[in-house]
Amino acid sequence: MAKGLFRSGMIVSFMTFLSRILGLVRDAVVANLLGAGAASDIFLFANKIPNFLRRLFAEGAFAQAFVPVLTQVKEEQGDDGVRVFIAQAAGTLGTILLIITLLGVLGSSVVAAIFAPGWFVESLNQTEQGFKFELFSQMLKLTFPYLFFISLVALSGAVLNVYNRFSVAAFTPVLLNISIIGCAYLFHDRFEYSAFALALGVFVGGIVQLGFQLPFLLKARLVSKPTWAWRNKNVKKVRTLMLPAMFGVSVSQINLLLDSVIASMLVTGSVSWLYYSDRLIEFPLGLFGIGIATVILPALSKLHVNDDKQAFQLTIDWGVRFILWLGIPACIGLITLAPLIISVLFGHGEFLSQPGHIDKVAAGVTAYAIGLVSFMMIKVLAPGFYAQQNTKTPAKIGIAAMALNMLFNIMLAPFYGYIGLALATSLSATCNAMLLYYFLHKSQSYRLSYFTLGFVVKCIVASAVMLFVIVYLKEWLIELNHGLFNQIKLLGILILSAVGVYFLSLMVMGVRLSTIKSVAKAES
């Protein structure tokens, strides 16, 4: 199982890497077309709402509740039982999603008023910025249906993951980025506001992603006619687990959305600065954190069903070790290289129409990066509860983290604006991760091993050496920090040097690939 987990994790991480690269290309296209002004704020917020609901209900709460139950059905009833359960889950979820989607499209003005109260007030007062609310409401009619399609994609992806076909679900987001980029270039001049072409790309992307995954389910003979089964025993179990799970694994997304709601009341550009900052954080988070979380939940669920407590403990410890191995240097690297990365990705076109955008986004990246390791730890520790079909504990922790986030927002936003919002999210995520570990330890489900503690110290030392080298090279090659081509070359040199120095430092301290690959290493 050890090699299988590592291999599956690397496959998911590689596919996610392709998706994140195209995601950055997509964001560069958005920055080039819209800059970081009002139009950018409107599209990014209109896209964030269905994505937030998708992560909350589908990939978040639904996946964490669905996978453990599906794993149990698979172990106890085989493929026939799985086929029936999938039809029941798809029919029930699909019907509810269709109703929510129709309500969202028809009531887009109400949704807009709830999520962007600052713009709503401006429209009522007929201020110069009042047009933002109307455009936001119209754009939601294109982006909100994405929730329906992508939630079904999350369901089919969860099924494929339980059957160890991780690459299909991990590759699927690539298609969304391709759709947005394609629509941006094909239709940007067909609308009065180019942002509507991007919104169309979101709509098309949802359909394409679902169409891509369905053939794989058909090939595995896991598809049958969806049926409404609200009172079915297993569907009811998923429903029961879902509600508290919404506040558990999705708390970071809730906090990010709250940041955007508050940012809509700040100066124009705040929503965009937060978005681009978050996108850079999402790259390592998606690449490493979500990659490991994707493969660890089915594995932990199976171990729990088979009552293998020792392997359960070792598997979480391996996940923590993997996360910290890559998360610590990613945090240091992002903080150090943020201005250069932002300049390379977004520093052209409309993004430069107003001075200061690069520095604004870089400051946001630093504030979010402080919590990067905590964001990643949540992705590994929360499945420790969900695999045991315990969603109440992480839900209580999530509610506490949300309350802390709002408290930090109140304390920091008046003084530091959008940077205060980002920092509040990082601080609340750190509290969330610490509480998850505390209750896992208290329930004797997981305890950080001494081996992993020693390993973390080595990662910190190696990251410090890496930081020294990056800072020295940046000063030595300062003349390259002018012009896009030179900046790309400089960024490549710095990243390759950082990666080389980090892993070489770990090797000098005795860390080998087997240290990362082996789940049972903590026993030795």
36 in Cβ contact with 351 (< 8 Å): yes
What is the rounded CA–CA span in Å between residue 383 and residue 94? 25
Q: Provide the H-helix boundaries in 107-194.
A: 108-115, 117-124, 131-143, 146-162, 166-171, 173-187
pLDDT of residue 56: 63
Letter for the amino acid at 122? E
Angle at 519 between CA 513 and CA 523, to 5 degrees: 105
**Phi and psi (nearest 5°) for 477?**
-110, 30
Q: Provide the H-helix boundaries in 289-370.
A: 291-305, 309-346, 357-369
pTM of the model: 0.68
DSSP 79: H
383 in Cβ contact with 65 (< 8 Å): no
> Read out DSSP for 258-309?
HHHHHHTTSSTTHHHHHHHHHHHHHHHIIIIIIHHHHHHHHHHHHHHHTT-H
What is the rounded CA–CA span in Å between residue 226 and residue 148? 15
What is the rounded CA–CA span in Å between residue 303 and residue 311? 7
Per-residue pLDDT tens digits of the chain, which is 524 residues long: 444 555 665 666 676 677 777 777 777 777 666 655 566 677 777 777 777 766 665 555 677 778 788 888 888 888 888 888 889 888 988 898 899 889 989 988 888 888 777 777 777 776 656 677 888 888 888 888 888 888 888 888 888 877 877 778 778 888 888 898 888 888 877 877 777 888 888 899 989 999 998 898 888 888 888 889 888 888 888 888 777 766 655 566 666 667 767 776 776 677 778 877 887 887 787 767 666 777 777 788 888 877 788 888 888 898 898 889 989 999 999 999 988 888 887 766 555 555 677 888 888 899 999 999 999 998 889 888 888 888 788 888 888 888 898 899 888 888 888 889 889 989 999 999 999 999 999 988 888 888 889 999 999 999 999 999 999 888 888 776 677 788 888 888 999 999 999 999 999 998 877 777 666 555 54
What is the rounded CA–CA span in Å between residue 255 and residue 428? 9
54 in Cβ contact with 146 (< 8 Å): yes
